[in-house]
A and B are shown apart, each in its own frame.
Chain A
Amino acid sequence: RQRRFERVWFWGCIQGLRGAYYIAEGLGPNRAAPRSRLYSLNCLDWSLLTPATKEMLALAEQLKGRFQGDPSFEYNLAEINAEVAARLIEGGKEPVIKEEARLIATIEQIDRAVGIVPRGAFVKTPLGSVHENRHFEGLSLLEAKKLSSYFHFTEPVNLKNKTLLEKADLDPSTDFLDSLEHDIPRGSWSIQLEKGGTVVVLRSLLWLGLTFYHVPMTKQFGYIYFGTGEKNLDLPFML
């Protein structure tokens, strides 16, 4: 209400040791614009998170282990990685990261890496802004089982690398995002049909806890993250 979002989605929950962060996202009219995120410890008081910067992302990758559950907790970088801390000190900043910054960076990473939508759910207008496709009737059962019917909802990386032949088949209004087929490592998504095919559930194995659901032949889909906020770096050993 205060921030004039068109829609607000519940993004998920990151569990820390002493408490959990509940995260919500608000969207403006252009769905592809950087999203504003809010977090709360008790679902009553929400605070806005600043958008992620590249420095934050780089620093947060150094941190490993669980979240503490306290947004003002400071991680001492000097213990973890002396080089990075030295660079920071030279730059005139203190070598600590607040948990809030780590939270921002983690959410951004998760969204970028595994935030997915079904094909055809969003259309790009010729002006470049992205809207929901009112005419989206849902994927059919056959399509729902294929990984190629789902897209990452971020700036496409691989789209330009496709051969001309493949590009000719694409419909520029709906196929403007990367599909899941070429995700590295192969097999980092688990597709399951539950309840005899009424719901298709995709779970990411890279970020354990990200679950995406879609009811075929209807407009319903969505994803939620419910986990510890840590990347699963052991994935290649586990497949």
Chain B
Amino acid sequence: HGPYQPHEPGYGLDQPGYSPYEDEIPDPQARMLAIKNAKAYLLKTSTRSGLNLYDHFANILTKILDEQPKNTVDIIEDISKDVKWAQFRKKMDTLRDEHLIHPIFEAAEKCKALFVKEGLEEEHEELDEEMGQPSLPNVMETAFYFEQAGIGLSKDESYYIFLSLKNLINVQPIQTCRFWGKILGLEMNYIIAEVQLLEGEEEEETAEEEVGTAAEEEKDMGEGEEEGEEKEKEAELPKSTYKPPPEIPREENGTGTNKYIYFVCNEPGNPWVKLPPVTPAQIVCARKIKKFFTGRLDAPIVSFPPFPGNEANYLRAQIARISAGTHVSPTGFYQFANEDEEEEEGDAYEENPEFEPPPVAEMVGSLTMWAHHAKGILKQGRCVWINPYQKSGENEEEEEEEEDKEDEGEEQEEERGLPLLAQISEDEGMKNIPAWTAQASTNLIPQYSVAILQSNRWPGAYAFASGRKFDNIYFGWGHKYSPESHTPALPPPAQAEYPSGPGITETADPTVKEEIAFKIAQEEALAGEEEEGDEEEAEDD
């Protein structure tokens, strides 16, 4: 041993006979020397890292005494590692880091824009006076009611959505606006607002769309003619007898599935994007596929049957289906404007001024107290049935066989859906599952409890009612619930390539025997004729 005494780990220092002071050197000077040597050893700098143990221990102890974590002895190695790490960071800082714009900063900038009041307030005040105030929904109030049920977004997010809706109203000419809900996606989510535009604004857009489609049709026709000419020059290829079913025209803006216009954004603070109106073909296809939303509106939907459109159209179609299926209100809140309940005119409903809200217990107890106020979508994909073959007179230029069409036209039956203000107790359930589940928000305070309705067909759709106030909302992935697994449609059977006829059908080649027999028969016939011919010649001679 040197003048200092190493103590091996594991020694029981508190047991008699092992205490360090038993081997005490009586000479205090030698003890001081031992201490100095120990300290010198600790101060010895390591050849590899330039640190020394003494400083390192000092740093560790300082850190421990500053932070005072619990059970220090268990994590002492980690603390030691951290201290060493900290040393290295400061030394190697020769490069200056680029000041990275933190994503939080960018998001905060966007939200800040929401909070800034617009400078164009004067113009807006004038507009408001002329056209009447657009109604900004009180999102916070609705959020409060839904919170009673345990559904909803955080207060921060609700407030941001509130401000973005206010922005939307200032930018677009809007008559009524409502927060529809939030649909989750893989990369980003969608926040959706349901809007009714002022009446003058919609016509311009439909005119543009018609011009667009007319131009496309002309192009198609031009191409078709060229192809027809080419085909005639070559040998006539069999023409396909496939006629795609006629396209069902979409409903006008402002009626049926297109009653409301929807704006979406990914996060509050982002600019609102308008979703295109939905066509029946899209709804019919959306019923057959089940896809997650990615969060980007221009993402393609790869599916079978192929979806006519991209994610924006699929989103719009799902929104239409959810609205038609789950928008409910207390029975009697809305009544028909006209006494006649013809289906085509039954779109107009208005608030019933004499509506007396039933007590919450009744709202929860029976489903007859709630009624749909959105029209259901028929199988065709529209709310109002239309016979697609009636108006096909215009497109008959390229069609050849009219007879087939008329036959098919007779087969389609008029589809009828549920009448407009049907009560939800008439909704079909699936197997044993009722279509709706009703609950009161709390049993403990019945005076202030709110009646909550959850849809089982579209999980994520909720409605609440409390006195005269009610609202619907959707938070979810955007898919319908089905007790069976989703089975994609099978591809249709392969078409027969050509019509079978006597010219093309295969027959078995005659066997050798048959050929010989046929040849003999022919020769006999020839021989018979020759004999006759000879005889005739003989006779003539």
Contact = CB atoms under 8 A, between A and B. Distances in A.
B290 A64 contact: no
Contacts of B30: none
A62 B449 CA distance: 39
Interface stretch (B197-205, B236-244, B367-375, B431-439): B431-439
Contact of A237 (B103, B184, B432, B486): B486
B463 to A, nearest CB: 16
What band does the interface of chain A fall in when counting residues whose beta carbon is under 8 Å from B? Answer: 20 to 34
A56 B91 CA distance: 59
Nearest to B479: A238
Given A17-B456, A65-B431, A208-B477, A195 B107 contact: yes
B102 A197 contact: yes
Contacts of B185: 190
B109 to A, nearest CB: 9
Name the interface size band of chain B: 35 or more
Nearest to A125: B74
B106 A196 contact: yes
B104 interface: yes
Given A66-B456, A135-B75, A192-B187, A234 B437 contact: no
B498 interface: no
A237 B71 CA distance: 51
Interface in B176-195: 184-189
Given A193-B103, A196-B107, A18 B437 contact: yes
A184 to B, nearest CB: 17
Contacts of B184: 190, 203
B437 A17 contact: yes
Q: Chain A CB within 10 Å — which of B184, B432, B433, B479 has the most?
A: B184
Given A64-B483, A135-B78, A233-B485, A238 B291 contact: yes
Contacts of A15: 454
Contacts of B433: 17, 65-66
B446 interface: no
A203 B295 CA distance: 14
Nearest to A193: B103
A234 B186 contact: no
A64 B188 CA distance: 30
Contacts of A134: 69-71, 74-75
A222 interface: no
A239 B103 CA distance: 27
Interface in A180-239: 187, 190, 192-193, 195-198, 203, 205, 208, 228, 233-234, 237-239
B292 interface: yes
Nearest to B289: A237
A205 B185 CA distance: 10
A190 B294 CA distance: 9
B292 A205 contact: yes
A217 to B, nearest CB: 12
A17 B434 contact: yes
Nearest to A66: B433
A135 B82 CA distance: 10
A122 to B, nearest CB: 14
A201 B477 CA distance: 15
A119 to B, nearest CB: 15
A208 to B, nearest CB: 6
Residue among B75, B103, B186 facing the most chain A CB atoms (10 A cut-off) = B186
A129 B349 CA distance: 66
B108 A196 contact: yes
B105 interface: yes
Given A134-B71, A193-B103, A196-B104, A238 B290 contact: yes
Given A193-B103, A195-B107, A197-B102, A234 B434 contact: no
Contacts of A234: 290, 485-486
B488 interface: yes
A172 B456 CA distance: 46
Given A66-B433, A135-B78, A198-B104, A192 B483 contact: no
B134 interface: no
Nearest to A18: B437
B105 A196 contact: yes
A237 B288 CA distance: 11
A237 B74 CA distance: 49
Contacts of B107: 195-197
Given A135-B82, A196-B106, A237-B289, 11 more contacts: A15-B454, A17-B456, A134-B74, A196-B103, A196-B107, A197-B104, A234-B486, A237-B290, A238-B290, A238-B291, A238-B479
5 contacts: A65-B431, A187-B186, A196-B107, A198-B104, A238-B291
What are the nearest 4 A-B pairs in CB distance?
A: A196-B107, A196-B104, A234-B486, A197-B103
